A and B are shown apart, each in its own frame.
Chain A
Amino acid sequence: MAEVEETLKRIQSQKGVQGIIIVNAEGIPIKSTLDNSSTVQYAGHIQQLLMKARSFVRDIDPQNDLTFLRIRSKKNEIMIAPDNDYFLIVIQNPSD
C-alpha cells in the first residue's frame, strides 16, 4: 500500500501532472486524485478505448500487444498504461 502511495506521489510530483487514476480491468476506478464524477467518466471511456486499441493492435499482428497509449489534445495529454489486471491513467498538461 505504501509503495503504491509512494509511486503515486512520484508521478504526481512530475511537472504538469493534473490527475492520476488507477482503474481495474473492468473499468471500475480504484484510486484517483480527481473528483468522483470525472474519475468515473475517464475510467469508463478510457476502458472502452483501451479495448479497441488493444484489439486493433493484436488484429494487425497477433504477436504484438499494446504497451502504452497517449492521447494528445489541445489542452492536455492523457497517458494510459495498460496491464493485465489494471490500467493507470495520467493526465498531464505539458506546459509550453
Chain B
Amino acid sequence: MSSKTSLSPEARKKKGKAGKKNENNFLSPHDGAAESHSRPDYIFPLVLTSITQELFGCRADEDVTGEIPYKLIKKEDIVQDMKTRAAVSDFSPVKQRVLEYPEDELLLVFDRDFTFGQSFYLVLTVEAKENILKPPVQGNEEELINVDEEDEDVIIPKTPEPRPWISLGSEQEIEEETVKHIRPRLRYKLSRPRRDFCSAVHFSDRSARDGYVECLSYQDKRFNITEQERHTAVQTVHHTTDSSTQTLWRYPKNMWTQYEPREFSPEEKMHQLQSENMKNFIKSVLIRLDVALQQNCIMNVFSDDWTALSEDDSAPTGKTRSQLKEYQSFTDLNLSKEKTISHIQWHPSISGVIAVAMTERFTLEERIDNSTKLLLNPSYILFWNLSDPINPQLQLECPDDVLSFQFCPSDPNIIAGGCFNGQIALWDVSAHVDKLQDTRSDGKNTSHTPNKKNDTAMVRYCAVSGIENGHKSPITDVQWLPETFEVSRYGIPVENSSHMCVQIVTCAPDSCVLFWDVRAPRVVSQSLTDTKKKSEKPLENPHGVPDTFKHLNLTWKPFIRVSLFKIGSSGDYSPLKFSLTDNTLDYSTGERPAHNAGEGSGLGQLRVPSAKQQNPLEHISTKLFVGTEDGELVYTDWKMEKDNDSGRLFSPKPTHRFVLYDTLINTVSRSPFFKDIILTVGSWSFAVFKEGLTNGSILQSRCSQIMYTVGHWSPSRPAVFFIGKEDGSVEVWDLLEKSHEPSLTQNISTASITSIRAKSISLKQHLLAASDRLGTLHILQIPWMLRRPSANEMQIVKKYFEREEERLNYFEKRQTRHENAKKETNIEEQRKKTESVIHQKHEEEANADAQREYEEYLNLEKMILKDTNLLTADL
C-alpha cells in the first residue's frame, strides 16, 4: 500500500484543480508515463511471447501500438490458454488473479515504454480497467481545464459534493475512550447495630511507629527520561571585541570650531530659481499645498470637541447671576469716627492685608473753618487684616490727609503717599511686617493666645518732601514707576540697573506731574561730607522712625517737572489722575519681571547713578494719559524737549485731548489685560478709550442718574469692571453681556462709595474692597461668574474693541467721504452753470476740430504711402 500512497498525492495534483478526485488512487496511463517504476497492485507486468501475442491478437506494434495500447481479452481465452499450455503459459503467474476476476474481459495494455518493467501489463481489477479505458477522455478534459485554469488563474467555485466517509481508524480511538458498562452494577449494603450510633467516643493512643507505611522516594531507573531531542536556537553575530584606549594628554591646547550653515550665493539662488526644474517643481507642488492650506482654513481637525463642549457651558447666561456677597466690613470705632476713606490698596505680597487711607470728611470751607481741629486729629493709614475685623494691624501716621498712596511694587514695605498739602510721604514698615504676616496665619487663634498685642502699632513717616519743592495743591495720584526702567535727570528713560522701583510719579491739580527719586543724590565730593558727618552728633531718633530715607527727609524734591499746557489755548490742565503706559513687559521675553520681595533694605542705600553710566532704553513709551479737573482726558508725553533757543528743557504740548465730561474725572485706569485700553470715569458717565485711537472713545456710557464716583477693572476677567456710585451701590459692567447697562447693581452701604479695589486672594476667593464715605471698608466676595473668565474671553473682548475701533474709523471715513461728496457736488453745480453759457460755442469748435483731424489724417496717409513707395499719381 505504501507505493499507492506515495503516488496518490501526485495523482491528485494532476487532477486536483478540477476538484475531481479519483477515489481509489488509480493512475492514468499519462501518470504512468511520468511516474517512477513502482507499480500498484492491480497492474501486473507480463511478458508475452510472439505466439501468445498472435494468439490473442495483440501483437506489438501491429495490433496494439503506442496510441492504442489497450486490448480487451476474454477471460475464458486466458483460462483456456493456461489450461493448454499450463506452466509455459505466459499468464501462469497471474493465474489466480485472473480466475478471481469478476468480469469477462480483462484489459491488456501494451506498455511501450516499459514503465512497469515489461512490454505488456495486465490490469487486474474492474475499476482500474474502467478507469484506464475511460480516463483518456476525462484526463483530457481535466488537462484542458487545468490549462485553462492556469491561464486564467481563476478558481471555479463548486459546491463540495458529499463524499462517503473514509475511515482512518478514528473509530477505534473513540470506542476506546467511551465509557461503557461492561459488567452489571454492584450493590452494597452496610449495616451497624443501632446501639452503636451516638455512643460515647473513646479515644486512645497508639504508637505511630507501626501503624503507617512509609513511601520514600527513590530513584526509579525506569522513569528516567533521557533527553533525546532538544530544540535550541542559534544566532549568528559578528565577532565583537571590547577594547579601550586612553589618550595621552601631553599639553593642553585651546581649540574651537565655528561653523555656519551652508548657503547659496545670491547668483546661485537666482540661477536655481530660474531653472526649468524649479518651475516644474512649483507647479506640481502647488496643487497639494493649496488643498492642505485650504483644509486648514476650513476646519480644525484637531479640535477636541469634548473639551470644547465643557468650555461653552460656562458662557455667561445672564440668568443665574449671583450677587456680591458681603464678606466682612471693617470699621475702627475710635479711629474711623467722622472720617472717610479716600484710597484703598491691597498689600501686594501678604494676602489678606489691605490698607486704607483715612481722611477728614470735610469740604474746603469746612476745612478752613475747622483747621485748628484738624491739627489735633492726625490722619493716618490703617492696615487691616481679613482675619481680624476689629483691630487694625498697623497705623501709619501721615503729615496730612493722604488722598492717594501706593505700595512699592518691588518692596512692599515701602509706601509712598501723597498728602493734602502737596507733600509726599514715605513710610517704611519693615519692622512690623512680621506682625502683619503672623497675624495672618494665626487668625484663627485670636482667642487662645494671651500674648497677642491688642494695640495697633503706630509707624511714623520716615521721609517727607520739602513743602516748597512739591506740589502746590493736594496730591491726587501717586504711582511708582516700574522697575524695568528709570528716568534720568533729563527725562530720558534709561536702564534700571538695580531692578527695583526707585521713582515715583505724582500729579496734583496745580497742573504739573512731578517725578521723584527715592535714592540719595550722588555725592560729588565725598571727603567734605565725611568730615562733616564725623563732627556731627548722631541725630536723635525720638519717634523710632527707621532711617531708610533719612537722606530725603524734608529736602526731597522732584527731579523732573512736567507741565501740562493746554492745546490750542494758553493755560494749563489740572490733572487729577493719570495713567502711565504699561512698560513692565520685558519686550524681549514678553514676561513681567519678577518682583524682588524682601530686599527692602537695599532701597535706602541706592544712589542715583551718574548720567554717563545709564543706558537709554529705546522701547519705553513715555506717553501718559491724564484726567483733568475739567473733565478732559489729555494724552501727552513726559519726555522733555530741548528748547533750541535757550537750551532749557521744557515739556512738549500734549498731543491729544478728549473732552469728555462736564465735571472732573475721578478715575483713569488701565486694563490689566490690554495695555492700551483705559477706563475713565467722570461724574455722570464713563468711557473706555484705546490708546492711539484719537477719533473718540470705544465705548461711552449714557449719563446715569446717580453720580459715579470711582471705577476699577476686574483683575481676572478682561471684560468686567466695577463702578461705584454716590448712593453706595456698586455696578458691575460685563462688556460681553451688556454694554449699555450694568449687568449687576448692588447696594452696599448708605454713603457714597469712595474707592473700589479688587484682588484675588486665592483661586477660589476673589475679594472686592469698597470703601464708603462713612469710613467703613466693605469686603465683598466676588461670585464665581464674575471672577472666572470664560474661554477665549480675552479674544472676544479684543475683537470687540477692534470692532469698535473699526466702527470709529469707518465713521470718520464716511464723514470725510460725505464732505468730499458735498464738495464735489458743489463743484459740479458750478461747472454746470458755466457749461450752459458756452454750450453754443462748442458746436462750432467741434466742427473745426473734425475738419482738422481729417486733414491730419490725409497727411498721414500721404506720408505712409510715400514711405512704402506706393504713392500713385492720382493722390
Contacts and interface: CB of A to CB of B under 8 A. Distances in A.
Contacts of A22: 273, 278
B274 interface: yes
A11 B264 contact: no
A70 interface: yes
A90 to B, nearest CB: 6
A3 to B, nearest CB: 6
Interface of B: 261-264, 269-270, 272-274, 277-279, 281-286, 288-290, 292-294, 296-297, 300, 302-303
B294 to A, nearest CB: 7
Contacts of B278: 4, 22, 86
Given A31-B269, A72-B302, A79 B292 contact: yes
A44 interface: yes
A64 to B, nearest CB: 16
Contact of B273 (A30, A43, A88, A96): A30
Nearest to B298: A94
Interface residues of A, number: 38
A16 B261 contact: no
A81 B289 CA distance: 7
A14 B282 contact: no
B274 A11 contact: no
Interface of A: 1, 3-4, 7, 10-11, 14-17, 22, 24, 26-31, 40, 43-44, 67-68, 70, 72, 77, 79, 81, 83-86, 88, 90, 92, 94-96
Contacts of A15: 297
Given A11-B286, A28-B263, A1 B300 contact: no
Q: In this complex, which of B269, B278, B297, B300 has the most chain A Cβ atoms within 10 angstroms of its Cβ?
A: B278
B262 A28 contact: yes
Contacts of B270: 1
A3 B293 contact: no
10 pairs of A and B residues whose beta carbons are closest in the complex: A40-B261, A94-B296, A81-B285, A14-B293, A96-B300, A1-B274, A83-B281, A7-B282, A86-B281, A15-B297
B794 to A, nearest CB: 15
A88 B277 CA distance: 13
A11 B289 CA distance: 8
Given A22-B273, A29-B263, A31-B273, 9 more contacts: A1-B273, A22-B278, A28-B263, A28-B264, A40-B263, A44-B261, A68-B288, A88-B281, A88-B282
A39 to B, nearest CB: 9
Contact of B294 (A14, A28, A90, A95): A14
B292 A68 contact: yes
Contact of B282 (A4, A26, A44, A79): A4
A28 B264 CA distance: 7
A89 B814 CA distance: 43
Contacts of A84: 281
B296 A16 contact: yes
A9 B586 CA distance: 35
A85 B277 contact: yes
Nearest to A44: B261
Which of B261, B290, B294 gathers most chain A CB within 10 Å? B261
B281 A94 contact: no
Contacts of A17: 293
A77 B301 CA distance: 12
